[in-house]
Each structure stands twice: as structure tokens, then as C-alpha cells.
Amino acid sequence: MSNPAPKDKRLERMGSAPIFGLIMKMSVPTMFSMIVQALYNVVDSMFVSHYDKSALTAVSLAFPMQLLLIGFGVGTAIGVNSLISRRLGEGRHEEANKAATYSLMLSVLTWVLFAAVGLIFSSSIIGAYTDNPKVLNAGTQYLSTVYIFSFGIIIEVGIEKLLQSTGNSVFPMLFQLSGAVINTILDPIFIFGLGPIPSMGALGAAIATVIGQIASMIFALIVLFVRKNPIKISFRYLKKPEMHIIKDIYAVGFPSIVMQSISSAMLLGLNGILAGISETYVDVLGVYFKLQSFVFMPVFGLTHGVMPIMGYNYGAGNKKRLLTTLKYGILIAIAVMAAGMLAFQLIPDKLLGMFNAYPEMFEVGIPALKTISLCFVLAAIGIMISTLFQATGKGLRSMLTSLLRQLGVILPAAYMLSQISSGLVWWAFPIAEGVALIVALLFYINLYKKNIRDLSPQAARRASAPVSALKTTNEQ
């Protein structure tokens, strides 16, 4: 039985406010914070590169494992975001509160897992890619530190998505900004040493990172428990967790974990292919991934604002607002990606120059950036359609399209193209995005026919009945 929906303007606006203005209000703060996140990640790499080459190599080797950590934290949080926004749209507020409470428990369990990995396996992980003692030591210190103290980022991300599911995008932006600013200030202090702080290189970068993450987490916890929010955390729900709610979280959360984590596998795979050509190709790929974050991160910020609007209106049975949100989301994402593509096409030399590129790197990198950026607009459409799948509880479809983009197509294509000509390898990116977009459109057509075409408030109320709700949520 549904609980009466309490009056809350932040929830009401998701079902009534003008769509474009609502999207901008909910997305712009997150988009901005994502840009800042991308900026301080690049600055972090620049600081380390000026310390010594082995420190930069160590941090680069740890990067795919950091992506894995973030993938688990963000993926679980996306599952919580999707479930809460749908339950709020259906008026099932107690289930939304339970999901929010369980999300904190899941964040702590995720941290325990990664802390154990960092404590036991960091040296083995880095050692699998280098036999340089200096790189091995620096990489082990960096990876073990960011894993053991990862509770900061995992819990902060969980709270961030909780608040976004209720339409609050300002505080999540402030959480990220606070961590970014603290990290950026502390980086040179701990990397190069200042006053009583000794020079620590890669370890210093890790320390600055986790301090910023823990500060963000403390800020987020204060906002969650002190400020009035539409969702309420109650630890009494933890006495006997309801497994069907946790199952509903991971119906979207597990595919999202896979989607967030496969970037790590893709990067490892591409590095293996490109290393067979030359180190310059590996360097270009590393620089590309730093630069593309300025383009993709704002679009991911947009999805964080759009998803709760989609989920709320899908739960409320409002077909028109659901599809209008998708349309505006695609148009905004295309605008952002098109701007990024123009930058990559017009000033690739200046972009590479930010990383002290050497002559061979310019020779390989300029055509690489121009070729890869051709996929940006295709990616914009695919990302927004995948967001619709997540918002409607069809996370498996998002996972499959992401697997195609980042593993199933790009790695075989890159390998085969590299065998023909090294310069062709970069075309694997546009090919993968094109194939994934076609599959996403086919999935969308199926979703529209089965779940959206006849969507109405009456149908949504029938679907939210306790028994049928489970079937609807878990249907993929």
C-alpha cells in the first residue's frame, strides 16, 4: 500500500515545472561540478608529471583501478537514484526511505571490499605491468592509499545521488567542488613538499586526493542528517533489510557498475594493443582520456539531472513529460559534444601542448584527436537513451550498449585496424559508437512499444501494486 505523498516543492516541480528550465536547474550545477572535477584531475596529472616520470607512470598504471573503484561506487548509487525517483513518483515514500538507508549500508560494504583489495593486492596489481622498482613502489603506495581510504568517495557519491533523486542538484555540486578545491590546494604541498610536509611524489598525490574526498563526505553527511530532505534515513530499517528493495537497487545498479567499470577494462585492452605499436600511441591515448573528460563529464552531469526527472514521470505515468525530457536531454548533450568536437578538430595541437607533447606525440596525436572526436555526437545520443533505460529500471539495456561501445566492438576493431595500418586504429572509436547507437535505438523502440506507448497515471498506479511492482522493476 502506498504511503501518502508529503508535500514537497522539490518533488512537485519534477511533475509540473517547465521541462527545459527544470533540466537546466537540476543539471547545470552538476555539469559545472563535473567540469571542475575534470579540471583538477588534469591539474593533478600535470603536478605529478613535473615531479618525475616514474611518479607519472605509477599514477597512470593505477588509473584503471581507480576507475574500477569509482565504477562500483557510482554504479550502486545510480541504482539507488533510479529506484528512489521512481518510488517517489509512485507515492511509495517509505520504500524510498528504506532504499536511501540501505544505500549507506551498501556504501560501507563496498568500501570494505576495496580496502581489503588495496591492503592485500596493490603491489601485485602494479607489479603486473612494470618491473621498475621505483615505479612499483610509487604505484603501490598510490593505489593502496586511495583504496584503503576510499570510504570518502564511496559514501559521498552515494549521498550525492540520494539528493539528486529528489531534485536537489546544488548540494551535490558543492560536495564535489569542496573536494576538488581541497585536492588542488593540497596537491603541490604533498607532492613537492612545503614547510614541515616532506616531498612525497605519487604518495603525496594520493594523500591530497583522499583528504579532499573525506572532506566532501563529511560535508555530505552533515547536509543529509541536519538539513530537511524529502527522504529520511532511519537506521531502524537496517534491523531487518528487505532483500527485494536491495534487489531492485541492483536491478539498475549492477548494470551501472558494469557500465562504469568497463572503461577500466577498455583502457587496459587498448593500452595492450597500442603498446605493440609504440609508447607514443599509449601516451596519446592517455592524453586523450584526460582531454575527453572535459567533453564527456558535463554530459554525464546532465544525465544526473535528467535521470530523476525521467524516473519520477515514468513512475507517475506522465508519458509526455518523460519523452520531452528525453528530447531536451538529447539536444543539450549534442550541443555540448559538438562544441567538444570542434575544439578537437580545430586546436588539437594546443590541446596536446598542455601535456608537454614531444614531436612524435604531435605527429600521432593530431590526427588521432581529429578522428576520435567524430564519434562525440553519436555518443551524446547513445548516452541519453541509456539514461532513459536506467531511469525506467531497464539497466540491463544500458549495460549491453555500454559493453558494445567500450569492449565488444572497440577492442576487436582496434586490433584489426592496427594490423592494417597503425594510423587506422583510432577509427575504432567512431565505429564502436555507431554500432552501439544502432543497438540502443532498437532497444528504445522495444521499450516504447512495451512500456511507454500506453503509459498513463492509471497504468502507473496499477504497476505500483506491491506484487506487480517487483515484476515491472526487474523486467529487463
pLDDT tens by residue, 111-168: 999 999 999 999 998 887 777 888 899 989 999 999 999 999 999 988 988 887 777 7
Distant-in-sequence, close-in-space partners of 245: CB < 8 Å, separation ≥ 6:
83, 95, 98, 99, 102
The amino acid present at 382, given as its one-letter code, is: G
Tens-digit pLDDT profile for residues 444-476: 999 999 888 887 776 555 555 544 433 433 443
Question: Does the pLDDT value for residue 226 go beyond 90?
Answer: no
Helix 466-474, helix 53-90: angle, nearest 10: 150
**Which residue type sits at 256?**
S
Top-confidence residue, 258 or 420: 420
User: Greater confidence, 269 or 89?
Assistant: 269
In whole angstroms, give the CA distance from residue 456 to residue 64.
43
Angstrom CA distances, 410 to 263, 382, 436, stand at: 11, 15, 10
The packing angle between helices 53-90 and 19-49, to 10°, is 160
Which uninterrupted H or E stretch holds 186? helix 170-192
What pLDDT, on the 0 to 100 scale, is given for residue 466? 47
Residue with cell 513518483: 89
Round the average pLDDT of the chain to a whole number and report it: 84
For the chain, give the percent of residues with pLDDT over 90.
Answer: 36
Burial class of 263 by CB neighbour count within 10 A (0 to 12, 13 to 18, 19+):
buried
Let me know if 21 is exposed, middle or buried by CB neighbors in 10 A (0-12, 13-18, 19+).
exposed
In this structure, are residues 135 and 54 in contact, taking their beta carbons and an 8 Å threshold? Answer: yes
Farthest CA pair distance, the chain? 67
Q: Kindly state the cell numbers that stand for 332.
A: 543539450
Q: Which tops the pLDDT comparison, 210 or 263?
A: 210
Element holding 141 (H helix, E strand)? helix 133-148
Q: Say how far apart CA 374 and CA 421 lie, in whole Å.
A: 19
φ, ψ of residue 313 in degrees (nearest 5): -75, -25
d(C-alpha 381, C-alpha 433), whole Å: 10
- What does DSSP assign to residue 197? B
Lowest mean pLDDT among 30-34, 83-87, 210-214, 408-412: 30-34
Rounded Cα–Cα distance for residues 349 and 330 (Å) = 30
Q: In terms of Cα–Cα distance, which of 390, 386, 387, 428 is closest to 407?
A: 428
CA atoms of 99 and 87, how far apart (whole Å): 10
- What global pTM score does this model have? 0.71
Q: What is the DSSP string of 375-387?
A: GHHHHHHHHHHHH
Cα–Cα distance between 312 and 319 in angstroms, integer? 11
Model pLDDT, residue 8? 56
